[in-house]
Structure 1
């Protein structure tokens, strides 16, 4: 079994992309399992094979511990780690070729608390990778681009997984896609854009961050994906294949 963790900021389209990956792999003959790790989500665009909501009830936590929604979500996500054996048993019963893990909407609850890395380390899978969603609607300025790139790099450091960068909501930013993709592979282009859009202090800060990211190997490009049409899924699958299957493609 190969495990694919879907991570990104709230509203970036994680669940919708998870459903697109499910559809793509299924059409190409792979058996895919879906694991929802968000105990607070109400509706999902796919059918769960394993659902953490079967074990953790946000409303019950709020009532039992007299917590508000945010406090209950923090406690719920910490409790997920205690359910690793139950989740693993369900995963083993499904026994998929690929397991897609849809992580909580608030990225900090998964990446920066102990339960997320614990789950990654203790989940039994042959290979593991993450897909980080760069919300296209937030990426249209060079300073935002660098801020989210820094977040993506921080998440990669926390999770310790091979990471594929994906640009979502391309339908909403058609006039900016080429420029954003150029920023992701050409540091000079991004530096020039920063010079036009930042004052001295912010420019210096952004340039120092950018150069640190470049030295860390971030500038590998991003894969544009349309969650509306599925355009770009073939490129994403090829990237996943290189990471998970040593380049072996899913058969059409």
Structure 2
């Protein structure tokens, strides 16, 4: 009987929810601001969320990370001791992490029921053609985490249609490489004028063929066929759409969080809690 109880308890532990967002995107795309905004939103909603820093070059955080790769290795030390440049040093840091997975597993082991937000580096090659972040995503899944990728692209990309195409292709590449549930977030919407924001719908769920026509107006003739080929690729697979993030709008933040939660089915195994009447005083049992 005791053996059956132990087995059932282990099965129950294995089924407990472990959830995380893998926040990625180009340097300067607003990843850390997104993480900070999400932490603030969840804190106000009394929701238990932890920040995990996976950027060995990070300098400061508004919310101190609960888990920090800099406790294991820093880019500054690698560059100083091995003479590597920033990109080579960053890859070395992640190779070092992969050689010390017991450290990462131990750090993550204490968060069985919690929701983690992983703030990743801004070098997009880690997500597009170097398989390191893919390996990290696979490991998280092996450790019973439900993982959603959140790819950030700053709204200033829409100022140049060709630049926007590049952003769409990088998001598509990351989605194809990582092979995990994925959402794309267009950040820094609060920095745009109201007039521009009101005319951005076609960028959230893009019609690539129309955008290719715009790009061709300012592109050399020899690249027009390439633009149309890229547009047809995006249009054929219909994989890319963006959710707008305005950090000054709580509804915008909640909307994006709900999409991420839905992608990993957060909350489906949570036990229902009794509603608390704030007008009632504490129990006098």
Q: Under TM normalisation by the shorter chain, which class is it?
A: 0.7 to 0.9
Residue of structure 2 aligned with 1:193, choices 192, 196, 214: 214
Aligned to 2:157: 138
Deviations 1:168-196 (A, max 9, x none): 11122234334443134251542442343
The answer to whether structure 1 residue 112 and structure 2 residue 129 are counterparts is yes
Q: Give the superposition deviation at 1:56.
A: 0.5
| Aligned mates of 2:29, 2:250 — CA distance in 1 | 15
Secondary structure at 2:62 match in 1: coil
The aligned counterpart of 2:265 is 245
Q: Which residue of 1 aligns with 2:105?
A: 88
The counterpart of 1:152, out of the listed 171, 178, 183, is 171
The answer to whether the 8 A contact 1:61-1:76 is kept is yes
Match in the other structure for 2:278: none
1:34 Cα deviation from its structure 2 partner: 1.2
Between Structure 1 and Structure 2, whose CA radius of gyration is higher? 2
1:192–1:113: structure 2 CA closer, same or farther, 3 Å change rule?
A: closer
User: CA RMSD of the aligned region, Å?
Assistant: 2.5
Q: TM-score, normalised by structure 1?
A: 0.88
Structure 2 residue runs of 5 or longer lacking an equivalent are 1-17, 276-285
Instruction: State the 1:247 CA deviation.
Output: 8.8
Tell me how many residue pairs correspond in the alignment.
250
Match status 1:161 vs 2:160: no
Residues of 2 paired with 1:91 and 1:215: CA distance?
39
Runs (4+) off by over 6 Å: none
**TM-score normalised over the length of structure 2:** 0.78
Aligned: 1:226 with 2:246 = yes
